[in-house]
Amino acid sequence: MDMRLTGKTAVVTGASRGIGLAIVQALAGEGMRVAAAARTVPPALKETGAITVAADLATAHGPGEAIDQALAELGEIDLLVNNVGGGDGGAGQVGGFLGFDDDQWRQTYDLNLLSAVRATRAALPSLIRRRGTVINISSIGARMPHGGPIPYTTAKAALTAFGKALSEEFGPQGVRVNTISPGTTRTALWVDPGGYGSALAAAQGMDLERFLEGLPGAAGMTTGRFIEPEEVASLVTWLASPHAGSVTGADYLIDGGTVKAVRPIAIYRSGGNTGGGSPG
Task: Identify the structural domains of the chain with CATH numbers, from first to last.
Answer: 9-273 (3.40.50.720)
Q: How many CA atoms lie within 13 A of 235 on its CB side?
A: 22
**Which residue ranges in the chain fall short of pLDDT 50?**
266, 268-280
Is 16:45 a contact under the CB 8 Å cutoff?
yes
Closest Cα to residue 58, out of 91, 42, 24, 82?
Answer: 82
Query: How far is residue 129's CA from residue 144's CA, in Å, rounded to a whole number?
Result: 36
pLDDT of residue 121: 98
Query: How far is residue 203's CA from residue 141's CA, in Å, rounded to a whole number?
Result: 20
Query: How far is residue 140's CA from residue 182's CA, in Å, rounded to a whole number?
Result: 6
Cα 180 from chain centroid (whole Å): 6
**196 catalytically annotated:** no
Which is catalytic among the residues 152, 196, 252, 268? Answer: 152
- Other Cβ atoms closer than 10 A to 189: 22
pLDDT of residue 87: 75
Ramachandran quadrant class, 194 (left: phi over 0; alpha: psi -120 to 50; beta: rest): left
pLDDT of residue 88: 65
Return the SS3 of 84.
Answer: coil
pLDDT of residue 140: 97
